[in-house]
Amino acid sequence: MKTTSQHWVWWKRHLVVIVLSGLGTGLLLYSRAEWSTMHRWNRAIGDMSLVLVALAMAIGPMSRLWRAASRYLPYRRELGIYAIVLALVHATIILFGWVTLDLMRLFGFEFHPQLQQYVMVNHGFALANLIGIVALLYGIVLAVTSNDFSQRWLGSSVWKYVQQGTYILWWLSVLHTAYFLFFHFLDYHRATPEPNWARWPFVALVLAVVLLQIAASTVTWRKSIQPRGGRARAS
């Protein structure tokens, strides 16, 4: 059973991530005031979801590089949960606002009135949305099992194996986002809407996470070989 102090810490983490999500989404909305309402909300919520996943991915390697960062390790659970909550809202906006519940349009098809059938008009849109759906479903599994009950029920080893899927979720989210930032409107004569300012901040965010992971892995590797090196010199 959790004590009152533990409950407060738990609620505090949730509150911090909720406030962070709200402020970040608000800033992203404000930065695209010239866009249509649907696209503003769609991109702002989707981008904030990716930022939360990036933060969750960065905390682990940061804690191995700087001991003081270890205090933020518990936040990974809440960051992941609210990233999926935002991703669900993002998917809902697409279903109702972009493809208007026409699932064929979600996979790149449009109805051709002369042929009286659906035809494929955007292969990239289909692939990107398929990646997004897989990421969302995988993320839901991670979010649903991000609790102490699931950890006890699944067992520590199985639970850790499931939660390691965060890396899969991260790269699926990166691929999904990269398509809409760089490729989706290349088939048109001009960008619609105007080119997204988030392109290069997105690249910087991904590179930052990758570099943190490489640096942390390098430090861990160097520490792992030091004892063997010391014994070898002693012998």
What are φ and ψ of residue 75, in 5° steps? -70, -15
- Which 3-state string (H, E, C) describes 90-141? HHHHHHHHHCCCCHHHHCCEEEECCCCEEEECCHHHHHHHHHHHHHHHHHHH
Which of 11, 9, 14, 1 has the alpha carbon at shortest distance from 149? 1
- Residue spans of beta strands (DSSP E) within the chain: 109-112, 117-120
Q: Encode the chain (235 residues) as per-residue pLDDT tens digits.
A: 556 666 677 788 989 999 999 999 999 999 988 888 898 999 999 999 999 999 999 999 999 999 888 999 999 989 999 999 999 999 999 999 888 888 888 888 888 888 788 888 777 788 899 999 999 998 998 888 887 788 888 887 887 887 887 888 999 999 999 998 888 776 655 556 667 788 999 999 999 999 999 999 998 888 888 765 544 444 4
